[in-house]
Amino acid sequence: MLSIDGSEGEGGGQIIRSALALSLATGMPFAIERIRAGRAKPGLLRQHLTCVDAARTMSNATVLGATLGSRALTFTPGPLVPGAYRFDIGSAGSTLLVAQAIVPALLVDGGAWSLELVGGTHNPSAPSFDFFTRALAPLLARMGAPITATLDRAGFYPAGGGVVRLDLAGGAQLRRLVLEDRGAIRDRRVIAAVSKLPLDIAEREAATATRLLGWGADAGAAVELRSPGPGNVVSIVVEAEHATEVFTAHGERGVAAEQVARSAVRECSAHLATEAPVGAHLADQLIVPMALGGGGRFVTVEPTEHTRTQLALVPRFVGRAPTASDRGDGTWLVEVPPRLAG
């Protein structure tokens, strides 16, 4: 059984989610201690418990320590059982982070799966539904593992209540991915969305973002989302020949619409200033599925703590270490060996 220090690396929920995904895929049990030790609220939160519950339910795993606030967890997986499952976080916690804990293993399993995840769908510090469908899912499909993602209802903090459906057809195979250049930019757009708030907020955000980016006004759109509670998100989508990137910012009480737009623009502009096809957030999402399949390589920006955590954790489960090397031009090359047989 692997022993993991949950305070290492980024020291938050990602090490738990990645360990669950890797454990489900490899069959290797693990024990993790000092979970989120440096956080204001250490231990397992509802979102993390939903990840554990999903992994346990789908594999008939044996679990110790799966309680709210627990700082230690032991997880021994069984064989995955394909089928239809529903998991409700019970809060506005991110449904897409729950997906991060289980989907890579389901892609390796190759069975047919249908998931309904209830909670947050557009959360700060988490992948948004738009990021998942526009940036990550197309690359997984290129690797041979297509996912159909449907947003039945948006979920914002604090109301939550969003519903995401993920359908995985049987026969998926994670092939090698090579992504070294962005290629020509084919489309760019700003999508500002509100729920139970004046549409004028989204219109101001779209106008501000397109103006700051130097894009035409027709590149911006203001939309309303159906959701149990109020919310606001700005998504900037840059579709290039070989990869699509999504940059988001979330509205907050007391923060002007124009400031929300500027936040998303800063992240987008910083990425476009490099030649990297893979942004900072997409990089850490790709490493686990690549390591569980055919491996490959991609060019990205300087690795975040989340990415470095993935690089350190993966070899403990699959035996071969991915690497990240500075290319000296503001970009980095991440190389992921294919999974060892058996």
Catalytic residues: 306
Please state, in angstroms and rounded to a whole number, the distance separating the CA atoms of residues 98 and 47: 7
**Angle at Cα 102 formed by Cα 97 and Cα 104, nearest 5°?**
100
CB-based contact 104:143 (threshold 8 Å): no
Q: Which residues contact 252 (CB under 8 A, 6 or more apart)?
A: 260
- For residue 181, which phi and psi values (nearest 5 degrees)? -145, 155
CB-based contact 141:167 (threshold 8 Å): no
Please state whether 152 falls in left (phi above 0), alpha (psi between -120 and 50) or beta.
alpha
Please state, in angstroms and rounded to a whole number, the distance separating the CA atoms of residues 215 and 187: 11
Length of the chain: 342
Please state whether 200 falls in left (phi above 0), alpha (psi between -120 and 50) or beta.
alpha
What's 10's DSSP letter? Answer: T
Amino acid at 340: L
Q: Helices then strands (H, E): number in the chain?
A: 9, 16
Please name which of 27, 13, 2 lies closest in space to residue 306, comparing C-alpha atoms: 13
Structure tokens at 341: 């047989």
Amino acid at 163: V
Q: Which residues contact 315 (CB under 8 A, 6 or more apart)?
A: 321, 322
> Prior bond to 79 cis, omega within 30?
no
